């Protein structure tokens, strides 16, 4: 590949990665402000966590809608409309007068942000396949995973000189920037002759066909359940680090952001070594790493060990997510060229729907214990492992015996 082509690939990965970061920024940037929002609205931690749940639901449901629309209308126009809605929803969040309206606006904000996640991945599948898709997807994640690293630090920085309202104004500016980039820099990658018919029942049949694909569902559930465990971590650590261990918002942001490094390490190892080690091998390694790390987290939570003893296994747990997500995506998308948007939507929706369920559970025992977090990520790791073995491995053995 020439240097010119390498530069083009990197620029495209950078642009698509920026759209992918919209999800992490929308989720993570206001996390350091959780205690402040509780006080301002005179509400409970669970209700503030419900605003995160609403965002996750929006991100999940939105991907189903935007994935199908992008298969019908192309990638560019749905992305343009979604970015415009995102700007308006972010401003509505900033000026919400009560927690109820904030929760509602967070749903709309998440719904709009979903387009950046699902369509950027569909564009990747439009352009690449096989090991080339793995390499490009890892490069996309290199940019996209900077979101969890940068977002809480950025949010903490904004909170150092303004209130949580400033966080959502900053998100509106980010959406405006991405709207501009969509208008002037992004080219259509799905020709009109390859688009799916604009038929609602056909779109439902597309999803039905994908859900009958045993291997696809296995990869979808394995990576989706694993990422749901990360959302439990996202929801619980603001209170665990700050309330239990007394970390300042800045220290919390640094600790939380450090896991963006582990995501990057996990994804880049897969991308760099995909020609030497199979995606299947990486998938299995990531699942086992997650199980071991989550056991360590639960033990530390039970004995109320020191902060560093909790941070280290969480670092490896998040690294396992980077490994499994990067390996699962090309494996699941391998035979889905004609329904790339719908397939990417299903791969994206499951983590957010499951994350919306598990996020409030972290605080169910109150704000003074990390045990629920340990239990939840251990259960998600085991469930992901079972999904992989019972759906992917069993179908592979069945095909081999025929």
With respect to residue 194, please indicate whether it lies within any of the assigned structural domains. no
Can you give the CATH number for the domain in which 289 is found?
Answer: 1.20.1250.20
Of the listed ranges 225-239, 272-286, 368-382, the one predicted with least confidence: 225-239
* Surface-to-core class of residue 34, CB atoms within 10 Å of its CB (0-12 exposed, 13-18 middle, 19+ buried): buried
**How distant is the alpha carbon of residue 23 from its chain centre?**
6
* DSSP string for 379-391: HHHHHHHHHIIII
* DSSP string for 34-99: HHHHHHHTT--HHHHHHHHHHHHHHHHHHHHHHHHHHHHH-SHHHHHHHHHHHHHHHHHHHT-SSH
User: Does pLDDT of 113 surpass 90?
Assistant: yes
With respect to residue 177, please indicate whether it lies within any of the assigned structural domains. yes
Predicted pLDDT at 45:
80
* Surface-to-core class of residue 10, CB atoms within 10 Å of its CB (0-12 exposed, 13-18 middle, 19+ buried): middle
Predicted pLDDT at 357:
79
Domain count, the chain: 1
With respect to residue 78, please indicate whether it lies within any of the assigned structural domains. yes
3-state secondary structure at position 198: coil
With respect to residue 188, please indicate whether it lies within any of the assigned structural domains. no
Read off the pLDDT of each residue in 109-128 and give the average, rounded to a whole number.
88
List C-alpha distances in Å: 16 to 20, 77, 116, 266, 353: 6, 15, 8, 19, 23
Let me know how long the chain is. 402
Read off the pLDDT of each residue in 329-340 and give the average, rounded to a whole number.
75
With respect to residue 6, please indicate whether it lies within any of the assigned structural domains. no
With respect to residue 47, please indicate whether it lies within any of the assigned structural domains. yes
* Enclosing domain of residue 273: 15-183+203-395
Tens of pLDDT, residue by residue over 258-306, are 777 888 888 888 878 877 888 889 999 999 999 999 999 999 999 988 8
Tens of pLDDT, residue by residue over 9-67, are 777 888 888 888 888 889 888 888 888 888 888 888 878 888 988 998 898 888 888 88
Name, in order, each residue with C-beta under 8 angstroms of 118's C-beta and a sequence gap of 6 or more: 62, 63, 66, 67, 70, 341, 344, 345, 348
Q: How confident is the model at residue 366 (pLDDT cuts 50, 70, 90)?
A: low
With respect to residue 7, please indicate whether it lies within any of the assigned structural domains. no
User: Does pLDDT of 324 surpass 70?
Assistant: yes
Strand ranges (E), 115-265: none
Name, in order, each residue with C-beta under 8 angstroms of 44's C-beta and a sequence gap of 6 or more: 38
With respect to residue 54, please indicate whether it lies within any of the assigned structural domains. yes
Q: How confident is the model at residue 149 (pLDDT cuts 50, 70, 90)?
A: low
């Amino acid at each position: 590949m020439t240097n010119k082509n390498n530069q083009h690939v990197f620029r495209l990965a950078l642009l698509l990665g920026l759209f992918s970061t919209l999800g992490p920024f929308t989720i993570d940037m206001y996390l350091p402000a959780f205690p402040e929002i509780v006080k301002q609205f005179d509400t409970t931690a669970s209700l503030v966590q419900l605003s995160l749940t609403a965002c996750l639901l929006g991100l999940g449901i939105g991907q189903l809608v935007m994935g199908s629309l992008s298969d019908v209308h192309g990638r560019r126009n749905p992305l343009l409309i979604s970015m415009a809605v995102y700007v308006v929803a972010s401003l509505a969040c900033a000026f919400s007068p009560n927690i109820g309206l904030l929760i509602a606006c967070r749903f709309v904000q998440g719904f709009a942000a979903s387009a950046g996640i699902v369509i950027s991945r569909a564009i990747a599948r439009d352009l690449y396949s096989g090991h080339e898709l793995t390499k490009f997807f890892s490069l996309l994640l290199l940019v996209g995973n900077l979101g969890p690293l940068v977002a809480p630090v950025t949010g903490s920085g904004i909170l150092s000189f303004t209130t949580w309202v400033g966080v959502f104004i900053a998100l509106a500016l980010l959406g405006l920037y991405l709207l501009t980039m969509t208008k002037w820099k992004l080219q259509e990658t799905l020709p009109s002759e390859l688009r799916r018919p604009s038929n609602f029942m056909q779109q439902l049949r597309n999803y039905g066909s994908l859900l009958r694909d045993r291997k696809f569902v296995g990869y979808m559930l394995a990576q989706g359940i694993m990422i749901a465990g990360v959302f439990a971590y996202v929801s619980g650590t603001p209170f665990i680090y700050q309330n239990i261990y007394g970390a300042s918002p800045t220290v919390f942001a640094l600790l939380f952001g450090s896991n963006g490094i582990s995501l990057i390490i996990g994804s880049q190892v897969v991308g760099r070594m995909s020609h030497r080690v199979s995606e299947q091998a990486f998938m299995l390694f990531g699942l086992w790493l997650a199980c071991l790390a989550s056991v360590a987290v639960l033990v530390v939570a039970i004995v109320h060990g020191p902060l560093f003893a909790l941070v280290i296994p969480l670092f490896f747990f998040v690294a396992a997510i980077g490994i499994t997500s990067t390996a699962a995506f090309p494996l699941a998308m391998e035979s889905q060229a004609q329904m790339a948007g719908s397939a990417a939507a299903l791969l994206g929706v499951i983590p957010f729907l499951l994350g919306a369920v598990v996020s409030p559970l972290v605080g169910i025992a109150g704000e003074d214990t990390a045990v629920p977090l340990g239990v939840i990520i251990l259960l998600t790791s085991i469930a992901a492992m079972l999904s992989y073995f019972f759906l992917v491995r069993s179908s592979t053995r069945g095909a081999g015996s025929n």
